[in-house]
Amino acid sequence: MRKKVLGEEYVTNQLSKNVSEFAQPMQQLVSEIAWGSIWTRPGFELKQSSLIVVALLASKNFPAENPNYKARDSFLQV
């Protein structure tokens, strides 16, 4: 799911840079919980989940994880 939302190149780069042996289990946990359980749960389509995440990040003045966020064009239609 993470690659579908953020793009394969971005995810591969993020997973390969500065991921120490110590940090690897945490990276795996985040991927399994956030991208495996939360993003794939029933009730919201991918577009809705993406819009919710971007709205929450914007409300807290946090930039999106990826400036090339794949769903960006969808938000321009809202």
In the chain, what are the domain boundaries? 2-76
Give the DSSP letter of residue 68. Answer: T
Cα Rg of the chain (Å, integer): 13
In whole angstroms, what is the distance from residue 21 CA to residue 24 CA?
A: 5
What's the CA angle centered on 54, arms 76 and 63, to 5 degrees?
105
Rounded to whole angstroms, the Cα distance separating 12 from 75 reads 25
CA angle 13, 17, 20 (to 5 degrees): 140
| 77, pLDDT greater than 70 | no
pTM metric for this prediction: 0.62
Q: Write out pLDDT tens, residues 1-45.
A: 888 888 888 888 878 776 788 888 888 888 889 888 888 888 988
